[in-house]
Structure 1
Amino acid sequence: MPIARLAEVPADVLALVEARTGAVLAYETVGGGLNSEIAVRIRSADTTVFVKGLRSDHRRVRTQQREADINPSIKHLAPAVLWHIQASGWDLLGFQDIHGRHADYAPGSPDLSLVADAMTRLSSITAPDIVMRSMADRMKARSKTPELFAGAALLHTDWFPTNVLVAGERAVLVDWAWASRGAAWIDPALWVVWLIKSGHTPEEAARWAARVPAWNTAPPAAVTAFAKATVGVWEEIAEGEPEQWVLEMLQAARTWYNAR
């Protein structure tokens, strides 16, 4: 379920940030993203930083520490974490500010090659030895064979287009709240559903996934099992969050599974 975003930055949060940046001259809340209560670009006299955060008693606050712990492993793929504040009832991460736009997954988009390139680099990274759920564990309630999804790769898993910033000639991956450990072909598999939702046929989406070498080594039976489990994921999300984009993702997941 998406996390409610605060429209204004509380004064106590600004005070915590100012201890790191100096006096805040201006800030703007950032649209997109579903995993934080605070998402804001803050400008001081010397710097501009992107800040995301949750209250320290939020049920998903552990994702903040996970994102901080993962960051050293994903240099050149994600904005650098500059600082991590845990104080005054808040958990805040300050990131290098990246000037970019959200990726376009539509057929013919020049962004698709950049996303595939970033995914290829990510697929070669081994998940760090930190507390992190595995895809086998995440899917065990929706698959009879979750062991097929096991692996040592670091996975992003949340390919919402707002989590991919196109900056110049590269795709930068943000919001690692759902990072997991698993088979390296799983990220391109998840991207396939987004591509279908964005107007690609299952065959076209698979051709883009094939730009990631890890996809081409995936056992077909494992991919089909994952496609079926993914339908279950979106059915569950749609039960609690029947927004139009969620229903479209559910239909895309079903289309992919049926095509297999």
Structure 2
Amino acid sequence: MPPADSPRPRALGWPDVPVEVRRAIADAVGAPVVSASSPPGGFTPGVAARLLLADGRRCFVKAASAAYGDWVAAAYRHEAAVNVHLPPSVPAPRMWTHLDDGDWICLVFDDVAGRFPSPSWDGDDLVRVLDAVDRSAQALKPSPVPDAAGVQDAFATVLGGAWERLAEDPALPDADPWAAGHLPALIAREPRWADGVDGQTLLHLDLRRDNILLTPTEVVFVDWAWPAVGAPWLDLVCFLPGVAGMTSRHDLDAVFSSRAAGRAAPPAAVDAFLVALAGYWRAGSLLPAPSYAPLLRTEQRLAADGATRWLRARASGWSSTST
């Protein structure tokens, strides 16, 4: 997960990549670039461009300069290292190549001609994505990535302590009245977020609507920048609050338990991890928007709202004394 801000704004598109780097990409893919377009969205400073090549092929390029921040360069290098090892059975775009000149890091993928899921997650969009989460978990156990970090290590500096800090934030009661009224229970559970997260499955851990593309026959998960190894139910818990933040038409506990990974998950471990995620998102949503991603706080607010909605349902089973 990225830090709260970055020293550089998000580059606008293909023309922001230096000429010599663009030439190196064209050489690597084996054809000149005829045209380029930049899709909207994204929360990492960098260039995203869909390229049409002179031989008729299309590809998608992600590129960023190390000058955008050490964390950006690390994220792009990590994504390249992970994609090298993803098997074809994983619902992810095929990486053609990657380039790293010590400053600019560039990743070239298949261009997926797909759409984002419906904002209301209607039709069969949600079921298709959940089926793809299942397939990904099956294909990525055991993890094919050598020395991939475990979830405990990957999230050690990200999760934990948010609700104690939020207890002192005067904005919390307006932003999340339910959480403000249940702080003792949230604070008690948050330190246990790592209980039960261990496992052997490589997880995406950043499944959001804008990281998912649907074609008539495929579901594709993009932006594998923050994966780690853990229990398979974690991707469901990271994903479902974003659904609930956009629509109230789904019973998240029913959706979660409709999947084998969800049914096998220890309830107390799910509660603790969801509490920690909710705190992370809520705390982030109350910060000023970073220059490179003006919509990031809105995305975090929606995820926090969805997590709170799910916690409200699950908290009905919490006893007044259990922690």
TM (norm. structure 1) is: 0.90
Structure 1 pair 105–2 and aligned structure 2 pair: CA distance change class (3 A): farther
Gaps of 5+ in 2: 161-189, 290-296, 315-323
Q: Secondary structure at the match of 1:109?
A: coil
Query: Larger Cα Rg: Structure 1 or Structure 2?
Result: 2
Give me the whole-angstrom Cα distance separating, in 2, the residues matched to 1:163 and 1:118. Answer: 13
Give me the whole-angstrom Cα distance separating, in 1, the residues matched to 2:37 and 2:212. Answer: 19
- Partner in structure 1 of residue 110 of structure 2: 96
Deviation string, structure 1 residues 53-77 (Cα, Å, up to 9, x no partner): 2213532212223222322324241
Give me the whole-angstrom Cα distance separating, in 2, the residues matched to 1:97 and 1:129. Answer: 23
Q: Secondary structure at the match of 2:191?
A: coil
Question: Which residues in structure 2 correspond to 1:21-36 (within 5 Å)?
Answer: 21=29, 22-36=31-45
Structure scoring higher RCO (CA < 8 A, sep ≥ 6) equals 2
Asked if the contact 2:252/2:310 (under 8 Å) is kept, the reply is: no
Deviation string, structure 1 residues 64-93 (Cα, Å, up to 9, x no partner): 232223223242411111001112621000
Q: How many residues are treated as equivalent by the alignment?
A: 259
Equivalent AA in structure 2 for residue 7 of structure 1: L
- Partner in structure 2 of residue 64 of structure 1: 76
Task: Report the identity percentage.
Answer: 25
Asked if the contact 1:192/1:206 (under 8 Å) is kept, the reply is: no
Asked if the contact 1:85/1:91 (under 8 Å) is kept, the reply is: yes
Deviation string, structure 1 residues 119-164 (Cα, Å, up to 9, x no partner): 0011222223435443223444414221421211111111221100
Of 61, 86, 91, 1:73 maps to 86
Higher strand share: 1
Asked if the contact 1:24/1:44 (under 8 Å) is kept, the reply is: yes
CA RMSD of aligned residues (A): 2.2
Question: Which residues in structure 2 correspond to 1:179-258 (within 5 Å)?
Answer: 179-200=227-248, 204-241=251-288, 243-258=297-312
Moved more, 152-161 or 237-246: 237-246
Would you say 1:7 and 2:21 are equivalent positions?
Answer: no
Asked if the contact 1:66/1:132 (under 8 Å) is kept, the reply is: no
Structure 1 pair 109–167 and aligned structure 2 pair: CA distance change class (3 A): same
Give me the whole-angstrom Cα distance separating, in 1, the residues matched to 2:145 and 2:218. Answer: 27
Gaps of 5+ in 1: none
- Partner in structure 2 of residue 178 of structure 1: 226
TM (norm. structure 2) is: 0.73
